[in-house]
Structure 1
Amino acid sequence: MEAKPIQRPYLITAFILSLLALGSSFYLTYLHLEMMKQGSGFEAFCDINSTFNCSNVLASSYSRLGPFPISGFALAFYLYLSFSLFWSFNTPSQTRNLLIPPLLLCLANLGVSLAMAWISYHYLGNWCLFCSSLYVLSFLIYFSLKKGVSMPFKKIFSEFFNSHWLKSYVSLILIHALVLGGVWFLEKDYAQAKSSQEKSSLSPQNKKDSEENTEKDIKTKAIEYVQELLTEEPKTIPIEGRPIRGNKDAKIVVAEFSDFECPYCKKAAVELKKLLKPYEKEVSFVFFNYPLDQACHPSLSKRLHVQACNAAYYAHCAKEQGKFWEYHDTLFTEKEHFSEEVFKKVAKEVNLDSSKLESCVASEETKKAILEDLQLGINLKIRGTPTVFVNGYQVRPWFVPEVWETLIPGLQ
């Protein structure tokens, strides 16, 4: 079957749709950066309800591929596609050769969109409106581009190496390098901006005048924060049966409520260990499981961190074999998406007894133990993870070293 003439209206449609997709992916990348800057309290305007919630989707581990957000890859791809279509309009004699490589990539992109839609439905139970728009646009773009190129599949594949595939894919790689590199640098800037904001807002009420905050140094503000904190009524937090690191007989007890699938908890696992290192003889550090998912959390009605409950079960069972902290540290450094296979792999790395582990994970006693931690957190009105208490006082700026330098001596 011979190729039909180029259908220019379809190509114009594909170009307009690719610009819309470019806009959606740009906004998703912006949301990702804002979430990184503002933390777990961030809310997007597309957070409509428990089902349609951009923030929940972007906070999940499925929103990243390696060190980069998925939206960054989408931004780079649709920038490449828009550029390719625009370039083809200016070289009518080469339109088909220029568009065969992007057409095949659009087919692959359609497959990726279907996979991401399946993850949203099956694993997350949440939908992001802008992500969903990209799923729909990927189909419409592929359909329009295929109609515009007007070639049967056999002809497309046979003509591939006669097309401008090398130049096209080199430009694809360069655009991805530039876009992802830019996103990476922005992430670093946003992380630094967040750190600066957090250090300049130490007041428990967070109502301090911004000019006054800039005039005082961090040490002075830390002293004021701790003085005000110690006037509050401390909460009672039972620690019996929980994993403890440091001096078990210490007068000062640091309690962390954490979720293994929470990206902020992953950072806290590293930072808290560093911050408490100078005080390991004066402090006992206690870990409480607080997985944020409806599979085990009695107050949640939606999926959020879909493997968090299972991670908590495995960590609890590692504690039963006397290896909680080895499992804790290894699991928080795990780069793969969490799954039963990953949990078992980590268990093998820390030399847990596999038969005891399996029976423990499946036991009602384990589920009851995690539920006790969850119920305690609910009673303490914990709204997110990580949440840190010191002798019953909730310390919000736990990431500021000067707070610990003031608080620990003040409690001794």
Structure 2
Amino acid sequence: MKKTFFEKATLNQKMLFFVLGALMTIFSIYLTSHYFSAKYPTGFEAGSICNINSFFNCDATTLSPFGNIAGIPISIFGALMGAFVMLTFLYNNDEVESALLTVLGVNAFGCVVLFLYSLIGLGHLCPFCTLYYLASFGALFMLIKVGEIRGLNFKFISIYAIVTLAVAGITYSSVQSWESKKIQMSQSLVKMFYGLPNLGTPGTPSPFRLASATEKFEDAPIQFSIFSDFQCPACKALTTVVEKIAEKYKGKINIQYFFYPLDHNCNPNMERPLHTYACQAAYMASCADPAKFGPIHDDIFADQEKLSTTWINNYANKLGVTECMTKPETKESVVKMINQADTFSVRSTPTTLLNGVKIEGVRPLSDYYAIMDEILKRAKK
């Protein structure tokens, strides 16, 4: 008679199996928290231990189309998988184990698809997602290696499916509740915005603009300064927001762009390699005609996943700025922008100044609209 995993496994193997399930749940809970923090931030500060460098980056996957299903973060399903693994310690038999084996197999297939999508499609890997994949494969491997139970058990698979759908439904309702509260939250953020200190504007305006209402930067009712990195996934997400803001407030907003590469090759604040092409991309953009900066900015972010020395050199050749990129004064101009950011304690990207108020990360578009509408209202424009 075939034995289950729990009948054959040693105590250490059982404990390891439980730990793997616990880790799956812990990693998934963190990723779920990260998802909601990114989608529905409650303050103006941002930061995450999950964004290690340009390759290992949670924001890239969180903000991707595969980061959620109908607004439900896929990490919710990972937390359930971990819970299913741990629950086998309380209730296990042939039927439960065969169903768990099937569910873990489906989960493993999903992990492979997401891994390949992240690696090939996005050009990034989410560190905590990767740890979840490893824990998942570890649990599946142990179940196959030690246990002898095989086959399908539709009864318990159906139970798993019903529980999953129930949790998905509850999560969906929660997401819809968050969505419905966006306007209310935006209004509370307006109050928070006006309660924060006005840090002013950078001493030397940037010649690189994404929207221009007046020649002098400070003359526009809405003044938006962006400290950004061409390799930063969140900065790429901000470009979509900026495009809509520039269109909605055309003639009333100035948007200036400051290079802040998270790259030790030109940023003295960086102690280790992070975005290793960011300085070169900044040199290239800074060498071009400022009047052409908008399209250049868009092209670089559009091909962010392809960014490499070859890509930058090819684009530089097209612009005719290859020689300029190597000049010492080019690096000096980028470093000057970085030094200006120090005045505002910029340490992550994107960091923005909206009429002198510092905002870290990317906020929902509705938040920017609420704040900017209030700025115009108070300016009576």
- Structure 1 residues 89 and 248: alpha-carbon distance in aligned structure 2, compared to 1, 3 A threshold: closer
What's the TM-score once normalised by structure 1's chain length? 0.60
Q: Which has the higher contact order (CA 8 A, sep 6+)?
A: 2
Report how many residues are paired.
349
Supply the distance in 2 between the matched residues of 1:39 and 1:293 (Cα, whole angstroms).
27
Which residue, 192, 202, 209 being the options, matches 1:201?
192
- Whole-Å separation in 2 of the counterparts to 1:311 and 1:7: 54
Matches within 5 A, 1:13-412: 14=17, 17-35=20-38, 36-39=40-43, 41-42=45-46, 53-54=49-50, 60-66=59-65, 68=67, 72-80=73-81, 82-83=83-84, 92-95=93-96, 97-105=98-106, 107-108=108-109, 134=132, 137-150=135-148, 171=161, 178=169, 181=172, 185=176, 188=179, 192=183, 194-205=185-196, 236-239=203-206, 241-243=207-209, 245-247=211-213, 249-250=215-216, 252=219, 254=223, 256-259=225-228, 260=230, 261=232, 262-263=234-235, 265-266=238-239, 268-274=241-247, 276-279=249-252, 284-302=254-272, 308-309=278-279, 311-313=281-283, 315-316=285-286, 319-320=288-289, 322-329=291-298, 334=302, 338-340=305-307, 355-356=318-319, 359=322, 363-364=326-327, 366-384=330-348, 385-388=350-353, 393=356, 399-407=371-379
**Cα separation, partners in 2 of 1:245 and 1:98, compared to 1, 3 Å:** closer
Verify the 8 A CA contact 1:76 1:175 in the aligned structure 2.
no
Deviations 1:178-227 (Å, cap 9, x if unpaired)? 58746754663675565233112233447xxxxxxxxxxxxxxxxxxxxx
Cα distance 1:299–1:377, how it changes in 2: closer, same or farther (>3 A)? Answer: same
Partner Cα distance (1:82, 1:59) in 2: 23
Q: Secondary structure at the match of 1:249?
A: coil
CA separation of 1:178 and 1:243: change in aligned 2, threshold 3 A: same
The RMSD of aligned alpha carbons is 5.3
1:265 and 1:386 in contact (8 A); partners too: no
Query: Unaligned 5+ residue runs, structure 2?
Result: 360-366
TM-score, normalisation: structure 2: 0.64
1:61 positional shift: 1.8
Residues 383 and 193 from structure 1, CA distance in 2 versus in 1: closer, same or farther, beyond 3 angstroms?
farther
Q: 1:372 to 1:106 in 2, by over 3 A?
A: same
Identity %: 17
Q: Within 2, Cα distance between the matches of 1:304 and 1:92?
A: 49
Give distance in 1, aligned partners of 2:316 and 2:47.
43
Who wins on radius of gyration, i.e. which is larger?
A: 1
Distance of aligned partners of 1:307 and 1:199 in 2 relative to their CA distance in 1, 3 Å threshold: farther
Whole-angstrom CA distance in 2 between matches of 1:141 and 1:257: 45
One-letter code of the match for 1:339?
K
Asked if the contact 1:72–1:179 (Cα under 8 Å) also holds between the matched residues in 2, the reply is no
Change (3 A) 1:18 1:85: closer
Residues 321 and 42 from structure 1, CA distance in 2 versus in 1: closer, same or farther, beyond 3 angstroms?
Answer: closer
Q: Structure 1 pair 287/99, CA: closer, same or farther in 2 (3 Å)?
A: closer
Q: 1:272–1:22: structure 2 CA closer, same or farther, 3 Å change rule? A: same
CA gap of 1:147–1:233, structure 2 versus 1, over 3 A, is closer
1:288 match: secondary structure? strand
Question: Does the residue aligned with 1:265 lie in a helix, a strand or coil?
Answer: helix
Asked if 2 retains the 8 angstrom alpha-carbon contact of 1:73 and 1:176, the reply is no
